[in-house]
Amino acid sequence: NAGVTQTPKFRVLKTGQSMTLLCAQDMNHEYMYWYRQDPGMGLRLIHYSVGEGTTAKGEVPDGYNVSRLKKQNFLLGLESAAPSQTSVYFCASRTTTFEQYFGPGTRLTVT
Amino acid sequence: GDSVTQMEGPVTLSEEACLTINCTYTATGYPSLFWYVQYPGEGLQLLLKATKADDKGSNKGFEATYRKETTSFHLEKGSVQVSDSAVYFCALSRGNAGKSTFGDGTTLTVKP
């Protein structure tokens, strides 16, 4: 079991560029999440999915889009990156008893 | 709405000292409560959980008891090690669309 994996681990973008972060889980979990973590801000939920083909907005969804075409994958897209999106991004999936499993994170810098 | 309030850090202790990190919550109903740990450069890992009042979660020498009367879930360890240095997050989940509410995290540094 690989658990939750994230690709890439690091990325530097210029303002206005686009990119997609990939999250994959092999635990057959229905629920998946994208968070961002910033110093002094804790974890903030960007988008989440309660099953294949579904997505919903979290508390900070602006500037991001997501897709869940396959149950095991949850993609996070940045259409036009801004310096305010410099952050560490974590993907997580959840068991039926609410335990979350997190990926190792993607460190994104937007210059 | 739901909220989780954690003891502010950072916390610095000497090896073998006792640890308590306070956590209180606000939520309707009967949430499940969790402690997660984040080591430098890694994602969060589940440390322990409790699903109903008076339950005690435990793992790796850490313990926390679900106290409904005080809406608290304080994390304790009797003797910390340098390897316990990390950020600790308290969290709750009520099953509302699967979302969890996290505290802001408490940074623990243990010195030899």
- Phi then psi for residue B83, to 5 deg, are -70, -10
Among candidates B41, B95, B104 on the partner chain, residue whose Cβ is nearest the Cβ of A42 = B104
Q: Cα dihedral angle (A40, B82, B102, B3), rounded to 10 degrees?
A: -90
Q: With an 8 Å Cβ cutoff, are A98 and B36 in contact?
A: no
Give residue-wise pLDDT tens across range A55-91: 999 999 999 999 999 999 999 999 999 999 999 999 9
In B, minimum Cα distance to A89 occurs at: B43
Identify which of A59, A67, A65, A74 has the alpha carbon closest to the alpha carbon of residue A29: A74
Q: Write out chain B's pLDDT in tens, 112 residues.
A: 889 999 888 999 999 999 999 999 999 888 999 999 999 999 999 999 999 999 999 999 999 999 999 999 999 999 999 999 999 999 999 876 668 899 999 999 999 9
Q: Left, alpha or beta for B97 (phi > 0: left; psi -120 to 50: alpha)?
A: left
Among candidates A33, A98, A99 on the partner chain, residue whose Cβ is nearest the Cβ of B95 = A98
CA B4 – CA B94 distance, rounded (Å): 13
